[in-house]
Amino acid sequence: MSSSVIRIDGSDGGGQLIRTALTLSLATGKPFVAERIRARSEPGGLTPALLACVRAAQAVSGAGVEGAQAGSPTLSFEPGPLRAGHYLFDAGPAGAVSRLVQVLAVPLGLAGSPSTLKLTGLTHRAGAPVMPFLSLLWLPVLRELGHDLEVELGAAGYGAEAGGEVTVTVRKAGTPSAVDRRSRGTLREARVLSTVSNLPFEVAGRQSERALQRLREAGIHAEADNLPVRAPRSKGSCCLVFGAFERGRAGFASLGAEEGDAEACAEEAVEAFVGFMRTRGAVDEHLADQLLVPLALAAAGLQGPGKPVSRLAAPRATEHVVATASLIARFLDVEVAVLAAPEGPEAEIRVAPSEEGLVAALRSRGREI
């Protein structure tokens, strides 16, 4: 492996750090070695879900990999050129399909030719973005950044049985625009998306009815959509409460496993949304985290001419955001500044070419420094 290999302490940031390193490595062609992977967890090392991401990243790049075994505390990853194509991947036991989408889709947009990903596994998993979150909140910002992606949910997958099916179409990424989400403006629309799979359809109605009631009590008018979603091997429900502002988006999902979970599921999602409304954030903290790498790749100029500076206002800077910002600086000539707001817990995140990189870019265009 090259002497310029990037070495990562895998005990900080957990699985998110490894997934982010895979995405950055695919996009930049830079190899990395992660050590002490999940050393603070029990059991530590690569989980089967992380291993599924490693193997998928290996397949789309012909990477040289060492340590790709469940439980391994060390991973060496040296990517080759990205290879557009048609792929079938499983997210692994307890693996979220959305994590595979976020690891693979953005780098494959840099490959120059279209790709199709057929992904199976959990589409609705606690602690990971549910697929409707990606479609309604993550994808619109990715399109602003020049990414031409389509994500189709063919079947839902919940719990140990999984069985979810997702198709992702990735086309060549275009020129990105700057994303400015420092001020969200007024709330233009609040919606409740209540879905059920292999549960009585009235569960969806109970979820949305309780969610709308709680939102009204908080002074928020919303509309609801109740939908059945095919699931061949599992059952469950999802309540996603999301808002579209003049210049921002935020969404919060909660999952249910049984008929009796409907009201609690709705209240959990509404509580999180109402809590967000009390802040000055323009995007929710999870969306902010998930946007950092695409914003950084745009600022680094990997999508063609232009290195846009983007800004986000989040309710707070999570540990994931801080760890991701630090890792990005190891792979890209980009600065991710996480700034505390003058008042309150909110944070502003600024993603921009590093000062050195900006100077070089200006000189290459014949401009005075």
Q: Which residues are identified as catalytic?
A: 320
Half-sphere exposure of 140 (CA within 13 A, CB side): 13
Using CA atoms, how far residue 133 sits from 12, 342, 346, 369, in Å, is: 26, 30, 22, 43
Surface-to-core class of residue 199, CB atoms within 10 Å of its CB (0-12 exposed, 13-18 middle, 19+ buried)? buried
Are the C-beta atoms of 155 and 232 separated by less than 8 Å?
yes
Are the C-beta atoms of 266 and 208 separated by less than 8 Å?
yes
CA distance 119 to 116: 10
Q: In what order do the strands lie in the sheet with 180-181?
A: 180-181, 310-314, 347-353, 334-340
Helix (H, G, I), strand (E, B) or coil at 169: strand
The residues near 196 (Cβ < 8 Å, ≥ 6 apart) are 203, 204, 207, 227, 228, 229, 236, 237
- Please give the structure tokens belonging to residue 143: 């399109």
Hey, CA dihedral for 276, 277, 278, 282, is it positive or negative? Answer: positive
Half-sphere exposure of 129 (CA within 13 A, CB side): 27
